[in-house]
Structure 1
Amino acid sequence: MYSKVIGAKYFYLEQPVIDNASPVDEDGHGTHTSSTAAGVPVEGASVDGIGRGTARGGVPSARIAMYKVCWESGCSDMDMLAAFDEAIADGVNLISVSIGGPPRDFFSDPVAIGSFHAMRRGILTSCSAGNDGPDLKSVENVAPWIMTVAASSIDREFTTMVALGDGMNATGISINTFTPENKMYPLTSGALAANHSRDEYGNASSCDTEAMSKDMVIGKIVYCIGQGSQDSNIKELGGAGTIVGLDERADFGSITIIPGSYLDANTVGKQIEHYINSTKDPVAIIYKSVSTRIPAPRIISFSSRGPQSIANNILKPDLAAPGADILAGYSKLTSLTGSPDDNRHYVFNILSGTSMACPHATAAAAYVKSFRPGWSPAAIKSALMTTATPMSIKDNSAELGSGSGQINPLRAIHPGLLYDMNMNSYIAYLCKEGYSNINIDILIGSKGFNCSTIATPPQSTDGINYPSMYTRILSPNSPISAIFYRNVTNVGQANSTYKAIVTAPKGLSIEVVPNILQFSKLRQELSFKVVVNGPPMPQEINILSASIEWNDSRHSVRSPILVYKEQV
């Protein structure tokens, strides 16, 4: 497409000018995320033949304006705020921010502040949820006016087979571009390659560089245990490859700097160790990675989970989008791994992270906006959330990992009902949360603002017209008691009747009042409340998942309801 990138600017305001100050993408991250959102179709795209197919962005007809704010020193608050200001002034329709950091008070968080101003101008901001999962309380970018995106899998993974000299084959996960010579390589383990005079410098079993003997590694494939940078360590010592045993099977591929494969240490890993320790001259070969079809989607292990600590009664992340093993454009100014020792420079790369999920959701929002240009940022987010596909998560973090579920852009065009909000809705929420008049003055650029002038909403548990419902139980012996007031706007058929369908686990009572909504015209707004009650949660349970679905036989407008008991 002619003039795909219609603007590229950089911001480096807090520090002295540097020699390479330019908007050019030197690490590939910006190219990868922007091409995921809006890249044109490219046939035969691959990483050295791996993942070959047609690559295209979510909305290939869209144009891209890029704003570079991150450097080797990091991403400064001032630069991010300046980029938001510039993007808003440039008239962009959506903003995609694959940047994160520890949650901060809304008035000290540049992404929260910048996205608030974008929302005022009718611009939805989509942000990555963070890569610190599966730990709870790790989610980032949590302001209610942001669309916070978790990472899910796609229906393929990249498998890498390891063949041993005894005829055993073991399949691991990695993105290994190296085609081996037709021969076996000597095989050892980090433990056997240990330099015992340097045990205090690291763990040889995990292939820490300083803990191993170079003479025992050079020219060999090494079996290592535990997550780390084993491939670069073994490369530094002159090794021929790495086999890495993990506590459980990897659910996304990592690009290795030398031949490598990641597999389950507790199953095939033990067999490999047995072979190494019971054979005089063990040998192995690591084959180039291939694509394998798998069931999808599922939430990826690294994707950050809630609950969040800033807005205690808002569920984050909001929804999930593909973020694992994503093939997209890349910058030839850096290597595949980013290492200066890596001489592979391609125009595509396969990366994983909520950084990759964020532009998928941004593209879905752009797709909806192309059909519904008059919808507000909150309306677009509502449409994507209420039409998302619920997900089951094996680690029992439930909606704390996936929010409303996997995006479904086709359904989001016709959501039926919208949970809409405007700037005053968010200001009323901030007032309820106890933010000061002075802080709100600064945020909205006014003088003499007073929360008492804002219409007081019903005493809802969360105080906001959010498409999901969430409450936190602070004491393990407290009964469950929450009430949510909501307004929905009809964007389906003028004359329509929606009935509430409640799904709840045993012991949780959910009442919807009224449980029938009768609309007589488009854009009509009706109100309802959801009353949630229950006894104290059993000691061994800290999450209860439920849902409410408004159904008119044409549309299913679903909201998750989550009760979370604070762990002691």
Structure 2
Amino acid sequence: MITSSIKLLIPTLVGLLCLHFARFSTASNDNERQIYIVYMGELPAEQTISLTDVHHSLLSDIIGDETIARKSKLYSYGRSFNAFAARLLPREAELLSKKEGVVSVFKNRKLKLLTTRTWDFLGMSEKIKRNHQTESNIIVALIDTGIWTESPSFNDKGFGPPPSKWKGKCVTGVNFTGCNNKVIGAQYFNIGESAPPDEATPADTEGHGTHTASTATGAAVASASLYGLGEGTARGAVPSARVASYKVCWGYGCMDVDMLAAFDAAIADGVDIISVSIGGSVRSFTEDSIGIGSFHALKKGILTVCAGGNDGPYLGSISNVGPWIMTVAASTVDRRFETDVELGNGDKISGIAINTFAPKKGLYPLTSGALAKNNATFGNSSACDYGTLDKEKVKGKIVYCKGAGGDYVVKELGGAGTVMSNDQDMDTAYATGSSASYVTLKDGLKIEKYINSTKSAQGVVYKTRIVNTTAPFIASFSSRGPQTLISNILKPDIAAPGVNILAAISKFTTVVGHENDKKTSIFNFNSGTSMACPHVAGAAAYVKSFHPKWSHAAIKSALMTTSKPIKVKEGGELASGSGQINPKMAVHPGLIYDINTTSYVGLLCKQGYKDKEIALITGSGKYNCSKIQRGKGADGINYPSINLQVKSRETNISAVFYRRVTNVGVGKSVYKARVESPKGVSVKVVPDILLFSRADQKRSFKVTLKGKFVDKDSRYLSGSLVWSDTKHEVRSPILVSLPIS
């Protein structure tokens, strides 16, 4: 990761280098204006004059004509650093470079496009080491809304025939052109008759399944973007892997009967990883189609990766909590979709949205929903509720609405744009159906005050621009633990990018998805743990391409113990699990925590599940818990994280966790334990040194926790255990938490 101080130096160094070459190169035409960037370093500590005026002044001094100078300037940067872009003659650029306060002046150049961000952000560049042959034999199953195989993300150029282990099929259907050597299987399940028979098809009419499939496995597509936003090379984690699509969602939802049918087919078809961006309320494993299906998958060595849910930031909202499932939280990436609003009084307010509409002129008349109300006796005009606004008061104007969703109402009435205030965390940008932006409640009040202060209020909403920001953080919508079914298993397991992810979508849907939306694209931004899930599924497939014989638990352990801890405002590991995935490091984790099927069954026995219930989950006939060895310790299973739930703050913390690690490194190694103890808790590891003489050797240890809650306001205490041999850092979070009251 690049530190903030280095980030500040990079533009300076790049600018100086560019200036160096510019000074010693000859322009093709010294009288031809070209675009230059004038970099002036950090923002002033005290800004008594606008940067725009400063930039205009500099240009006027150099060009000698204020009118030409103003026309020359294209853009002023002034939110995170001080710079501007202008059309200049080479000699003007040279003179500007010598001005006091100017760090560098360099010519605008066409750079080589990189990824649309997430995989580079996670350390997986396009040039990362790959086992292409093994990767091409990996089949990733997507249980979702189907797939649009005509997307360029599923181009099969260079692919050979499907792996010999593939037993699946490609069915026909409406608007479906068939499979290829990339998308080797496509089936749909309409057992619950959620869709009319004449509409039953593997084709993705929602866009969700295409988006998740391309995130995990998409082939590289250059110049992908949404109307210029996020432009780059879109690709999945494993571009050489194969895709099998299982459509189970129709219109309003996904039926358990279809879900189980999809698991049944995928397991039999010979897939390696199953990605499920679907969830719901937490149910007993005996009544959970995903829990049952994923358990059958693990018995065949298949890892199931599931979205954790979008019901955050509330504690206890996590779903898909089976211990054999890899449950994923959603985190942010290092870019923000800022959609600026400018008022007639000169104030500029930074909002957030995915707004692909550029203004057609300067300022527009500006009003509010409260002032544009009609005579309706229902609804809230301040929120721009449908049917509450007067068309004549809205037409041609930008309307400020207190709340989300007013953009389509304003558009239908002929409005020029919408500004909506939102009381939610401003970490997720949503596509708008017209020129629109979301601002904070505080900024909304500022806009409303301005509107009410004049009879000629004006404003403009600009097209979205992408700016760099600090990351990762856990998204506000991402569901949190603790879970309630098996209290001492930490969920979510891990976090991955799930905010404003650009990936392929179906041609049968629109950018916003609204019934009146006509704007289409073959790539779109989506947010949710649905988007985080295929990142982890793709990363799991990447690890498996280097270790084809590893168990589902070994792959899961490798991803968890090499992840990067995330600072979380609320919920700690209950929000982030082990941390953000780090696929490159997970290929060589050093040690793994492996788990077999019998251990899971023993865990369920320990949790009080009856013999008959376990038989339903495993599908293996009768079970007798009294004859099955139950795991020792507080959680009874060899999990890569350590979690203890106590009844109350007054409860003394006292627990023992037994763990066993396998050396997956090469040759002899010595691992030493390093502990960061939770506040008020002592952590003892015995033994605290593990000696390995060969690969695949196993060593056991125990972790003892003792202490109490010392902070009356805290709901959780967090720490960590790291096994290190100087080459590997094998990290397990340690968490003590309270139940949901």
Match of residue 212, structure 1, among 379, 389, 403 = 389
Is the CA contact (8 Å cut-off) linking 2:490 and 2:574 kept in structure 1? yes
* CA distance, structure 1, for counterparts of residue 596 and residue 382 of structure 2: 56
Match of residue 230, structure 2, among 34, 45, 51 = 51
Match of residue 367, structure 1, among 535, 538, 542 = 542
Q: 2:518 maps to which residue?
A: 343
Any idea what SS the aligned residue of 2:485 has? coil
Distance 1:491 1:191, change over 3 A: same
Match of residue 555, structure 1, among 728, 731, 735 = 728
* CA distance, structure 2, for counterparts of residue 362 and residue 143 of structure 1: 16
Q: 1:528 maps to which residue?
A: 701
Is the CA contact (8 Å cut-off) linking 2:337 and 2:353 kept in structure 1? yes
Q: 2:592 maps to which residue?
A: 418
Higher relative contact order (CA 8 A, sep 6+): 1
Any idea what SS the aligned residue of 2:535 has? helix
Any idea what SS the aligned residue of 1:521 has? coil
Distance 1:239 1:40, change over 3 A: same
Q: Deviations over 1:201-248 (max 9, x none)?
A: 33322222244333332332111223x322223233332211112236
Which amino acid is 1:255 matched to? A
* CA distance, structure 1, for counterparts of residue 399 and residue 565 of structure 2: 42
Distance 1:391 1:511, change over 3 A: same
Q: 1:12 maps to which residue?
A: 190
More deviation, 435-444/297-306: 435-444
| Cα drift, residue 249 of structure 1 | 5.3
Is the CA contact (8 Å cut-off) linking 2:482 and 2:739 kept in structure 1? no
Q: Deviations over 1:280-307 (max 9, x none)?
A: 1111111111111111111111111111
Highest Rg: 1 or 2?
2
Q: 1:234 maps to which residue?
A: 410
* CA distance, structure 1, for counterparts of residue 740 and residue 537 of structure 2: 34
Unaligned runs of 5+ in 2: 1-155, 158-180
Is the CA contact (8 Å cut-off) linking 1:185 and 1:240 kept in structure 2? yes
- Answer yes or no: is 1:256 the counterpart of 2:432: yes
| Cα drift, residue 175 of structure 1 | 0.4
Unaligned runs of 5+ in 1: none
* CA distance, structure 2, for counterparts of residue 73 and residue 293 of structure 1: 36
Distance 1:18 1:219, change over 3 A: farther
- Answer yes or no: is 1:269 the counterpart of 2:444: yes
* CA distance, structure 2, for counterparts of residue 446 and residue 543 of structure 1: 38
Any idea what SS the aligned residue of 1:360 has? helix
Match of residue 321, structure 1, among 471, 475, 496 = 496
Q: 1:247 maps to which residue?
A: 423
Is the CA contact (8 Å cut-off) linking 1:391 and 1:406 kept in structure 2? yes
Is the CA contact (8 Å cut-off) linking 2:271 and 2:302 kept in structure 1? yes
Correspondences of 1:152-167 after superposition (within 5 Å): 152-167=331-346
Correspondences of 1:256-335 after superposition (within 5 Å): 256-266=432-442, 268-335=443-510
Q: Deviations over 1:500-549 (max 9, x none)?
A: 10002432111111111111221111111111111244321111111100
Correspondences of 1:438-449 after superposition (within 5 Å): 438-449=612-623
Is the CA contact (8 Å cut-off) linking 2:678 and 2:734 kept in structure 1? no
What TM-score do you get using the length of structure 2 for normalisation?
0.74
CA-based RMSD of the aligned residues comes to: 1.5
Distance 1:249 1:188, change over 3 A: farther
Which amino acid is 1:206 matched to? A
* CA distance, structure 1, for counterparts of residue 630 and residue 291 of structure 2: 23
Distance 1:536 1:52, change over 3 A: closer
- Answer yes or no: is 1:519 the counterpart of 2:692: yes
* CA distance, structure 2, for counterparts of residue 563 and residue 424 of structure 1: 27
Q: 2:563 maps to which residue?
A: 388
Q: Deviations over 1:450-482 (max 9, x none)?
A: 112212322x11111110111112123212222
Which amino acid is 2:228 matched to? G
Is the CA contact (8 Å cut-off) linking 1:222 and 1:242 kept in structure 2? yes
Which amino acid is 2:398 matched to? I
Which amino acid is 1:496 matched to? S
| Cα drift, residue 196 of structure 1 | 6.0
What TM-score do you get using the length of structure 1 for normalisation?
0.96
| Cα drift, residue 567 of structure 1 | 5.2
Q: Deviations over 1:125-151 (max 9, x none)?
A: 111111111111111111000000111
| Cα drift, residue 414 of structure 1 | 0.7
Is the CA contact (8 Å cut-off) linking 1:231 and 1:241 kept in structure 2? yes
Is the CA contact (8 Å cut-off) linking 1:248 and 1:265 kept in structure 2? no
- Answer yes or no: is 1:467 the counterpart of 2:640: yes
Any idea what SS the aligned residue of 2:231 has? strand
- Answer yes or no: is 1:478 the counterpart of 2:651: yes
Any idea what SS the aligned residue of 2:292 has? helix
* CA distance, structure 1, for counterparts of residue 375 and residue 696 of structure 2: 74
Any idea what SS the aligned residue of 1:84 has? helix
Is the CA contact (8 Å cut-off) linking 1:51 and 1:290 kept in structure 2? no
Distance 1:8 1:278, change over 3 A: same
Q: Deviations over 1:104-133 (max 9, x none)?
A: 111111111111111101110111111111
Which amino acid is 2:188 matched to? Y
Q: Deviations over 1:301-347 (max 9, x none)?
A: 11111111112111111000111111100111111111121111111
Q: Deviations over 1:346-368 (max 9, x none)?
A: 11001111100000000100000
Aligned residues: 562
| Cα drift, residue 448 of structure 1 | 3.2
Any idea what SS the aligned residue of 2:286 has? coil
Any idea what SS the aligned residue of 1:553 has? coil
Q: Deviations over 1:357-405 (max 9, x none)?
A: 00000010000000011100000000000000000012x2100110000
- Answer yes or no: is 1:144 the counterpart of 2:323: yes
Correspondences of 1:36-75 after superposition (within 5 Å): 36-75=215-254
Is the CA contact (8 Å cut-off) linking 1:537 and 1:565 kept in structure 2? no
